[in-house]
Chains A and B, each alone.
Chain A
């Protein structure tokens, strides 16, 4: 199984600023996913991050707002840009295992925008 860590675990940010969330996996994985969970809601896929190529964004999410980097097979970052209170959510990093069956989640980053 993959062990995923995320930094920071939580943060309180001011409106208009940006925050970069880091996701580190203890093994090499092909695909990494970023999800958002707004308060009291389910998880929504933001984008898929493949190493060496641009991230693929879901409908409603754009690169200017959520730029993603994937410099190698164990690491990715998600930036939440020009934040507003509506961006207050838990952001989760996720990976699939080598056989592409299980999907593992990081502990999440709890973001509050004031």
Chain B
């Protein structure tokens, strides 16, 4: 069975600080996908990134960066120079093939990020 752990329940930072959200996963599959989603107070889920298990290159998109390390089963997310608009709940998720061949997401419990002005 797959599992995603986000140990940080809530993080509070002051604007312009850097912040890293941790994600640790468990899976027995060799092929899988990892995702990060943002859920602002309005409730919709905003897709941020997808990474497959064969691509360990780190990725940077503006102020966002992701560090994927298979050796430690981690897929951490860093926001540089945080802004108030970054305040949201962030979910890490894992997708692998199920016994019926379908692919569904297993979500972590989420990390609530509060960025204070």
A-B contact count (CB 8 A): 50
Report whether A90 and B43 are in contact in the complex, using a CB–CB cutoff of 8 Å.
yes
For the complex, give the distance between the alpha carbons of A96 and B104 in Å: 9
* Chain A residues bordering chain B, tally (CB within 8 A): 23
Report whether A107 and B44 are in contact in the complex, using a CB–CB cutoff of 8 Å.
yes
User: B103 in the interface, Cβ–Cβ < 8 Å?
Assistant: yes
With a cutoff of 8 Å between Cβ atoms, the chain B residues found around residue A41 in the complex are 109
Stretch in A42-50, A69-77, A79-87 with 4+ CB within 8 Å of B: A42-50
With a cutoff of 8 Å between Cβ atoms, the chain B residues found around residue A100 in the complex are 103
User: A33 in the interface, Cβ–Cβ < 8 Å?
Assistant: yes
The 3 closest A-B pairs by CB, nearest first: A105-B45, A43-B107, A42-B107
Task: Report the minimum CB–CB distance from A4 to chain B (whole Å).
Answer: 10
Spell out A's residues near B (CB within 8 Å). 31, 33, 41-45, 48, 50, 56, 90, 92, 94, 96, 100-105, 107-108, 110
User: B114 in the interface, Cβ–Cβ < 8 Å?
Assistant: no
With a cutoff of 8 Å between Cβ atoms, the chain A residues found around residue B109 in the complex are 41-42
Task: Report the minimum CB–CB distance from B27 to chain A (whole Å).
Answer: 16
Bits for B74-114, please: 1 = Cβ < 8 Å to A, else 0. 00000000000000000100010000101111111110000
User: B33 in the interface, Cβ–Cβ < 8 Å?
Assistant: yes
User: B16 in the interface, Cβ–Cβ < 8 Å?
Assistant: no
Report whether A103 and B108 are in contact in the complex, using a CB–CB cutoff of 8 Å.
no
For the complex, give the distance between the alpha carbons of A62 and B19 in Å: 40
